Amino acid sequence: MKKVSKRKIYNIAKPHIYELEERGDLQAHNSDSEDFLDVAVWSLEKALVAAYEQGKLDAQKAYEKEKKDELKN
């Protein structure tokens, strides 16, 4: 499985989980007030759907690139 950068995950979630923009990252700060966010379930759902859709898009692009590379050979 390909490793995904925390920055990419952050950028997917940021528009849906508003406290993330103020926080600025997904790194542990070892502080309960900074590491545990109040997130509405509908915001969490939107962020998860966005991540799922981005994964589908990335997989489709990788598949198309692979097929294109095969045709070159």
pLDDT above 70: residue 70: yes
Q: Where are the domains of the chain?
A: 6-72
Q: What's the whole-model pTM score?
A: 0.78
pLDDT tens by residue, 7-48:
999 999 999 999 998 899 999 999 999 999 999 999 999 999
pLDDT above 70: residue 2: no
Cα Rg of the chain, angstroms = 16
Three-state secondary structure call for residue 46: helix
What are the counts of helices (DSSP H) followed by strands (DSSP E) for the chain?
4, 0
Contact indicator for 19, 39 with CB cutoff of 8 Å: yes
